[in-house]
Structure 1
């Protein structure tokens, strides 16, 4: 679960950094947000499928690791 939290924290920080740099360069907030998420707009359908598959595998692996560790600590 720590890995999941660290990953979410890093992606949040990097998106905020990207938006902040765009705003320093003179873009409005709307354009800065658009630029931060622009790489996802040019993806094909197959690329989206692979991207979400990787996210799904990461989430399932994190959840199963968390559940297994929790069961080992509290045998009932």
Structure 2
């Protein structure tokens, strides 16, 4: 869960930093959002599939590790 939390925190901080720099350059907030979202708009289908696959693996690995850890704790408490 720590890896997922750190990843989400880094995403939020970098996204906000990008928006802040665009606003400092004189863009309004709506244009700053468009500039941050633009790299995902121009991606082709195979690139999007790979991106979503990486995100899925990140979430799936974290959830599986959490479930196994929780399952291991419940097995130890029953014995």
Give the TM-score category using the shorter length.
over 0.9
Q: Work out the CA distance in 2 between the residues paired with 1:74 and 1:6.
A: 27
Q: Say what the alpha-carbon RMSD is for the aligned residues.
A: 0.9
Q: Give the structure 1 partner of residue 14 of structure 2.
A: 14
Distance 1:71 1:2 in 2: 18
Unaligned runs of 5+ in 2: none
Q: Name the counterpart of 1:43.
A: 43
Larger radius of gyration: 2
Q: Distance in 2 between matches of 1:53 and 1:30?
A: 29
Alignment of structure 1 residues 54-69 onto 2, 5 Å: 54-69=54-69
Alignment deviations for residues 5-49 of structure 1 (CA, whole Å, 9 cap, x no partner): 110010000000000000011000000011111110110011101
3-state DSSP of counterpart to 1:26: coil
Q: TM-score w.r.t. structure 1 length?
A: 0.94
- Runs of at least 4 residues off by over 6 Å: none
